Every structure is written in structure tokens, then in C-alpha cells.
Amino acid sequence: MEGGTLTGRPPGVDVADLFRRRRPEMVRLARMMTGSMAVAEEVVQDAFLRIHERQGDVGNPDAYLRMTVVNLCRNHRRRLGLERRLAPDERIVLTNPEVDETWKLLTELPFRQRAVLALRFYSDLSEAEIAEALGCRLGTVKSSLHRGLETLRRKMS
């Protein structure tokens, strides 16, 4: 992204500035949710494009951006069946065996559980903030968090 001037953008939300500030973090978050470097970048591009399409009328841009990224990750997973169709060389492999094993287990979780874990343990969001980002109830976050950790615990033991 160069220059950062988006002609015609509405007052109040500087999409270019938002792009510069938040893109790396959003790519990382999308990577955790999709399990793919390439898809993560595409998803984040799409999210910024949507914010621009809405002419910046998004209330809290940071929260809206995060919610859009999460939703697009979810859609991408459904649309492409990425969990099963990713070529092996597109999968993220980590050098530390234990960390890589944990990551592999994380990628096997249902999307919502993985998304909740990523927002909780990577983004450090509160459960209420996660509920907002996922567009679900607080109770759903709690149960997804519980079930995700319990599945991991069972598979690790």
C-alpha cells in the first residue's frame, strides 16, 4: 500500500491508515483461523475492500475490521473446504515439534472453537469482545472455549 490516499473515502474512517495499522495483525489472526498464509492475506484484502465499499460507515473501524476478517475466514473455509483441500506445501509447519503438534491439533478444531481460542489467546480479547467479534452470544464463546480446550487436552494426553 502506497501513499494511503483513497480518493472518495468518507470522513471519519481513514481506510488507508487503518490498513497500515492493522493489516499485519489481521493477517496473523486470519492465518490462525484459516491455517493458510495465502488465504489469510486474501481474506484481509477482502476485508479492507469491504470496509471501503461501505464508505467507511462502520462505527468502530477496528472492531468492524476484526469481525469482517473472522467472518471472511469462516466463509472461506466453507467455500473452499480448505481444511481438507489445502495442498501440503500450503500448510503452516512450525519448527518446534511440540508447538507444531499443538498447531496441528488447533487446525483440526471446528472453526468457531479455533476462532475463539485465537481471539482469546492471541488477540487477548475478553469473552465479551470475542462474542462481539464472532457475532455470537457470550455463552457460545464460553462453551466454544471450553470445548476447544477440552478437545486439545484430551488429544494431548
Min. distance of Cβ 21 from another protein in angstroms? 11
Distance CA 60, CA 109 (A): 30
Min. distance of Cβ 136 from another protein in angstroms? 5
Q: Are 38 and 90 in contact (CB under 8 A)?
A: yes
Q: Are 102 and 95 in contact (CB under 8 A)?
A: no
| Residues near another protein (CB under 8 A) | 1-3, 5-8, 19-20, 23-24, 27-28, 31-32, 37-38, 41-42, 45-46, 48-50, 52-54, 57, 71, 74-75, 78-81, 92, 94, 96, 98-100, 102-103, 106, 108-112, 117-118, 121-122, 134-137, 139-140, 142-143, 146-147, 149-153, 156-157
Q: Are 120 and 127 in contact (CB under 8 A)?
A: yes
Min. distance of Cβ 20 from another protein in angstroms? 8
- Contact partners, residue 157, CB within 8 Å, separation at least 6: none
Measured from the CB atom, the residue of 19 and 66 that comes closer to another protein is 19
Encoded amino acid at 106, one letter: L
- For cell 492471541, the residue is 122
Min. distance of Cβ 10 from another protein in angstroms? 12
Alpha helices (H) along 35-90: 37-53, 61-80, 82-85
Measured from the CB atom, the residue of 14 and 110 that comes closer to another protein is 110
Min. distance of Cβ 7 from another protein in angstroms? 5
